[in-house]
Amino acid sequence: MSRGIKRSPRLFALYVVLRVFVVGVLVAQIFNSNWENVLMCVLTLALFTIPSFLEKRIKIDVPDTLEAIVLFFIFAAEILGEIAGYYVNIKGWDTMLHTANGFLAAAIGLALIDILNREDRFAISLSPVFVAIFAFCFSMTIGVVWEFFEFGMDVALGTDMQKNTIIGDYVDIGLYDTMKDLLVNFLGAAVFSSLGYLYIARRGAGAQGRFVRRFILTKTGESVD
């Protein structure tokens, strides 16, 4: 079954609600002269356009489930996490998002290599095991690069993205936070890579295949089976 790029009414409604909320926060931050948060809101609105860009410009079909989760992820990370302070005030918020990142990044990595694997112009035919390993490594690379970014922000701008922690008689400069983030990214990546292996090996058969299909990017008009 192929999927078109037309969004479902529920997904369109989600877009509208989240964008209206972000614009409301943006206006409030302008009145408060909090320009850092203003930029965060602008960044969020820009990130919201990525799925549409992929579908319209690159002709990559983003499943509604994946698109909705990506939108929620961006909103939870930038608006709730950074501006509303959920990273500090809600225990486990950061851990939840890093776990989701590992899962989603593995899904994207698996889909990208699977698209190439099924493309007639490329003389490659990779095994399901290799595709799953690639998806896992892709996700872990994204996780590591993000930790580099957090470290760079802490050093260059004096932020505390890596969360200094008092341990005994000394202050840990983000080591525990970094290791925790990478560990949960590892778990998220491992879960989807395992599911992705079964999906590729069985070509989407069964309930597990139907679940994974909700997270798999495809070329517009291409069958996912």
Report the pLDDT value the prediction gives residue 122, as an integer from 0 to 100: 60
Measured between alpha carbons, how far is 161 from 183 in angstroms, rounded to an integer? 17
Report the pLDDT value the prediction gives residue 124, as an integer from 0 to 100: 64
Report the pLDDT value the prediction gives residue 141, as an integer from 0 to 100: 96
Report the pLDDT value the prediction gives residue 175, as an integer from 0 to 100: 78
Structure tokens at 19: 């964008």
Report the pLDDT value the prediction gives residue 3, as an integer from 0 to 100: 45
Report the pLDDT value the prediction gives residue 194, as an integer from 0 to 100: 94
Measured between alpha carbons, how far is 19 from 47 in angstroms, rounded to an integer? 11
Report the pLDDT value the prediction gives residue 1, as an integer from 0 to 100: 40
Nearest to 48 by CA among 67, 24, 26: 67
Report the pLDDT value the prediction gives residue 4, as an integer from 0 to 100: 43
Report the pLDDT value the prediction gives residue 57, as an integer from 0 to 100: 82
Inter-CA distances, 174 with 44, 47, 90, 98, 169, Å: 26, 27, 18, 15, 15
Report the pLDDT value the prediction gives residue 36, as an integer from 0 to 100: 82
Task: Please give the torsion angle defined by the CA atoms of residues 184, 185, 188 and 192, in that order, rounded to the nearest 10 degrees.
Answer: -160
- The pTM score is 0.83
Whether the Cβ atoms of residue 45 and residue 22 lie closer than 8 Å to each other: yes
Listed as ranges, residues in the chain with pLDDT below 50 are: 1-5
Half-sphere exposure of residue 89: CA atoms within 13 angstroms, side-chain side: 7
Helix (H, G, I), strand (E, B) or coil at 121: coil
Whether the Cβ atoms of residue 193 and residue 132 lie closer than 8 Å to each other: yes
